[in-house]
Structure 1
Amino acid sequence: MAKGSVVYGIGGVLQRFLSLLLLPFFTRVLSPQEYGVVALVGLVAMALSGLFSLGTGSSMSILYFECDTRSERHKVVWSTAALLTVNCIVLLAVLVAAAPYISHVVFETTEYANLLRIAFTSTMIVVVLEPFYAFLRLEGKAARFVTLSVVGAVAGALISIVLVLVLGWGIQGLLLASLFAQILSATLVAVTVAPHLMFGITTRFFVPLVRIGFPSIFGVFAFFVIDYLDRQMLQRMIGLDAVGVYSVGYNLGLVMLIAVSAFGMAWPPFFTSFIKRQEEAKLLFGKILNYYLIVFGGLAALFFVAAKPLVTMLAPDFVTAGQIIGLVAAAYMLKGAYLIILPGIYFAKKLHWQSAVEWIAAIANIGLNLLLIPVFGIVGAAVATLVSYALMTTLAWMVARHYLAVQYHWRQIATAVGGLGVTCGWVSWASMQFSFSGLAIHSLLALSVLFFVFGFYVLDRSERNALTAQVIQLVQRS
């Protein structure tokens, strides 16, 4: 699982690096208002992605591992792709016709209908390709998955340079570049992945694919509320300029999602393999949560440290965006912890409980945004996201423990969370009080305290000894 996470992480870093590389150029030719439009178009497409996918992202992996033969597993992949293709074509036809009405609801004008049509088409291609990408993850073919993803990202970056910076097509060029990149990805999948799957479509998989996965569609809408509705609320309460600044800071904080997504890609095949070894899972999954908090909690703390210098260097006209970078990173760190707690719900095929938990957190997010945005602006929106993911993780544990009684180590967990809170608060205070030199000193002290807490109060002696032995072996090999 760790090796797979590293490979997925490398691919994610390369893709995010391309985005960061282009950010200073795009922010000079696109206004905060235009960034706000792009963010809201993406928001609508994300909101509808669940209807495109029918929740098969969750159900396909369950059915895949329930099959014992290679041919049956390949039929699960092809059957999922066939079901999604039909569904996506019908839904896209409806959305293309309804685009002016959707544009009027979101933007109070029909001006952006064509941008929505482009985004809907890109979403359709992404969803239809997902079963083939999922097959690569389930079979542990992380390198091939990453290669295809990076090629698509590089192609999208190059096309966006031509369309936005050379031809001056603005935000329409950004969205078209994404669409052309997805078309290229579809071609690559058809050539490199599909021929290695034994073809076969079995209609008997259609019903369980939808029955098991469909409840998770509602969870997709809940994540839409938590991750994207704050932009709509910022637009209505403050204005599109605030949405643009928030989107820049949010996107920088989303670099954390590279690591979380890498773990999220490796985690489902790993935990699903324990579906017939649940007694072993009860011991192992608790330890995994400890290690996750150490690694990803440390990464989240680094985002608080780097926020001010990063936004000053990459987007000096959006300097206030630095206030939310660490908060966003911490929120998505908690999203990964939430994923670790879910296996019991998946083993029991009770995905409706997953959706219920996510919707409770989403409703809480709406209330928090209404309370915090008028007072704290974009910082209030970021805090609402962080608190929502904390609530989601807590509620998921309360439900999942009834299906899989994982032995969590609560003292170590509380120590890790407390150390993270103190460290991030310390660095946030220092970033407001000091220049870069003073911030660097305080950050170094705060991180030193955090890693001392992790090393001596979260890890036990045997784990420290094992880690030390691993480091010595690596040094000797090098």
Structure 2
Amino acid sequence: MTALKRLLNSTATYALANVINSAIPFFLLPVLTRVLAPAEYGVVTMFTTVVGVLSAFTGLSIHGAVSVRHFDNSTDHPRFVGACLGVLAVSTSLVLLVVWLMAGPLARSTEIPESWLLVAVLVSATQAIVQVRLVIWQVRNEVMRYGLFQILQTTLNLSLSLGLIFLLGLGWEGRVLGITVVGFLFAGLALYGLQRRRLVRWSLDREYVRSVLRFGVPLIPHAVGAMMIAMSDRFIITHLLGIGVTGAYAVGVQMGMVVGLLADAFVKAFGPHLFSELKTRDSTSGLRMVRQCAVVFAGFLVLALGYVAFLPYLYPFIVGEQYSASLPIAQLIGFGNAFMGMYYVVAGFLFFFERTVLLAKLTLAVGLLSVALTYSLVNWVGVIGAAWAYVLVQFMFFMGAWRLAQKVFPLPWRSLFRAQSNPGC
């Protein structure tokens, strides 16, 4: 029961950090929706979306490689982190060159100025550095440091953005500039912390570089597919319905992400626990993990249904009149994020056994399906079609990952329907 108590304590701390971290933009959302028109909010949304897409190519999932290698006692971890950051420098330079060469067409398709597209590349790299620092805290169970760093970053990000908007009269540029400045600042703090704690050694070990690339390159299709699932709706809505509709849709998505943030808080605590179970597995581990996962899945669904039922009572007061029509979008996104949380749980098995190629194929396939489904539904029923597509795609994504996890590490799921003695927690 000690392990269960530690898991619950970590989950509670991550949840609190995520709630505080998300509460800051949540409570400032009424301010932003009243000072930024839907078209301006749409530009901000497209900038953050582009940063997310570019991170698939600049970041190469190096934080995931650091997380998995933490459980390998034969690894020189500071040298491995140094190799990850070296790979990041090279990949960022290559992506910067490609975006510079294609800046014109990209600017026309995203409605973001060319200069800001180049900035987006650098911001995506700063996020990768921050993620490396955060994941090291996560695997070491330094939950308070993890949460405090996140909260400080978000607080300064939004405070600076509001200052630039209100004091200097900047519109969407103020919000984007706030994201950029704080991104560079906290990436610098992350690097300083890694150096000060001797968690990085600046040498490019060829073996570790190859290991990072073996882990990260197969995940590029996975990351691209994930971006298609999470972000293609913004591009499609902008293309079919205009940047103003994208802004209103993004407000609904942000409100619906509350469920995703709470699920993510649990998964951050559950991930190290799952890896530990898999590393020390015995004859009772399979049944124990099945029961734990089943409880987690049920909890995600209850959370989503409760949120969907409660949201209409608060929504108009939070987002304001010009964005109130996005309520159904927020409800659907919230429900879809329950399946996203389930996916993260079963994907942990594939990450542990380093079967990322399977996950990459699944994500790319589902991502392509997501684009087609979203485009069709938006054409058919309008912007609400994008939210329905999100729910369907997240469900398919979870089921696909669950089937792959069963092939890699079969679990006795049928035991849930048979009376057996409790092997303990």
**Fold shared, TM-score > 0.5 on shorter chain:** yes
Following superposition, the deviation at residue 38 of structure 1 comes to 1.6
Matched residues in 1 for 2:109 and 2:382: separation?
23
**222, 227, 243: which one aligns with 2:225:** 222
**In the alignment, what sits opposite 2:108?**
104
**247, 258, 275: which one aligns with 1:244:** 247
Asked if the contact 2:287/2:415 (under 8 Å) is kept, the reply is no
Asked if the contact 1:338/1:393 (under 8 Å) is kept, the reply is yes
Asked if the contact 2:129/2:191 (under 8 Å) is kept, the reply is no
**83, 87, 91: which one aligns with 1:87:** 91
**257, 268, 272: which one aligns with 1:269:** 272
> Which sits farther off after the overlay, 357-366 or 186-195?
186-195
**Cα distance per residue 1:268-289 (max 9 Å; x no partner):** 3222223433444422321122
**In the alignment, what sits opposite 1:287?**
291
The code of the aligned residue for 2:267 comes to G
% identity of equivalent residues: 20
**In the alignment, what sits opposite 2:3?**
none
Following superposition, the deviation at residue 234 of structure 1 comes to 1.6
The code of the aligned residue for 1:177 comes to G
**In the alignment, what sits opposite 1:141?**
142
Matched residues in 2 for 1:50 and 1:199: separation?
23
**In the alignment, what sits opposite 2:58?**
52
Unaligned segments of structure 1, at least 5 residues: 413-458, 468-478
**Cα distance per residue 1:309-328 (max 9 Å; x no partner):** 23211122111110111211
The code of the aligned residue for 1:313 comes to F
Residue 132 in 1 paired to residue 133 in 2? yes
Runs of 4+ in 1 over 4 A off after TM superposition: 409-412, 459-463
Do the aligned partners of residues 104 and 292 (structure 1) sit closer, same or farther apart at CA in structure 2, a change above 3 Å counting? same
**In the alignment, what sits opposite 1:357?**
362
Do the aligned partners of residues 381 and 404 (structure 1) sit closer, same or farther apart at CA in structure 2, a change above 3 Å counting? same
Asked if the contact 2:63/2:128 (under 8 Å) is kept, the reply is no
**10, 20, 28: which one aligns with 2:26:** 20
**Cα distance per residue 1:30-55 (max 9 Å; x no partner):** 11111112222222221111110123
Do the aligned partners of residues 104 and 338 (structure 1) sit closer, same or farther apart at CA in structure 2, a change above 3 Å counting? same
1:18-417 residue pairs with structure 2 within 5 A? Answer: 18-68=24-74, 72-96=76-100, 98-107=102-111, 112-200=113-201, 201=203, 202-279=205-282, 280-315=284-319, 316-408=321-413
Matched residues in 1 for 2:45 and 2:415: separation?
39
Instruction: State the structure with more CA Rg.
Output: 1
Following superposition, the deviation at residue 390 of structure 1 comes to 0.7
Following superposition, the deviation at residue 410 of structure 1 comes to 8.0
SS in 2 for 1:197: coil
Matched residues in 2 for 1:297 and 1:460: separation?
25
> Which sits farther off after the overlay, 92-101 or 321-330?
92-101
Do the aligned partners of residues 12 and 199 (structure 1) sit closer, same or farther apart at CA in structure 2, a change above 3 Å counting? closer
- What is the TM-score normalised by the length of structure 2? 0.90
Asked if the contact 1:136/1:145 (under 8 Å) is kept, the reply is yes
The code of the aligned residue for 1:180 comes to V
- What is the TM-score normalised by the length of structure 1? 0.80
> Which sits farther off after the overlay, 85-94 or 42-51?
85-94
Do the aligned partners of residues 100 and 135 (structure 1) sit closer, same or farther apart at CA in structure 2, a change above 3 Å counting? same
What's the Cα RMSD here?
2.6
Matched residues in 2 for 1:7 and 1:145: separation?
10
Matched residues in 2 for 1:181 and 1:460: separation?
53
Asked if the contact 1:222/1:362 (under 8 Å) is kept, the reply is yes
1:433-452 residue pairs with structure 2 within 5 A? Answer: none
**Greater RCO between the two (CA within 8 Å, min separation 6)?**
2
